[in-house]
Amino acid sequence: MITEEQTRWLVDKVYWVEEARDDVDYHPKEDKTYFFSRDKEELGQFKVLKVKDDTDNGMQAMAVAPIVDGEPDTPQIVIAYAGTLLIRVIHF
């Protein structure tokens, strides 16, 4: 089962979906596998199954599965989504 710490990392990384950002290590891509944390590789890895960055409505989301025994554990799919960014609200 995915841990609370792994979930916290996904919550942070879903904001990296936005292609316009240049202050992140990478933009999650479908079918790619990443570590939850580069500094704590013991947390494991996840595979990105689907990514959505809708510039019309601002939705940013990704569906991921943790890697268990070298394979994506699809019964444990997590859908992470970004909340409203305050800076976007201010610039209406």
Q: Mind listing the pLDDT tens digit for each residue in 3-45?
A: 999 999 999 999 999 988 999 999 999 999 999 999 999 999 9
* Residue 52 · residue 62 · CB < 8 Å: yes
pTM for this predicted structure: 0.85
Of all residues in the chain, what percent carry a pLDDT higher than 90? Answer: 74
Domain 4-90: which CATH number of 3.10.600, 3.20.20, 2.60.40, 1.20.272: 3.10.600
Of 74, 72, 51, 64, nearest in space to 9 by CA: 64
pLDDT at 92 over 80: no
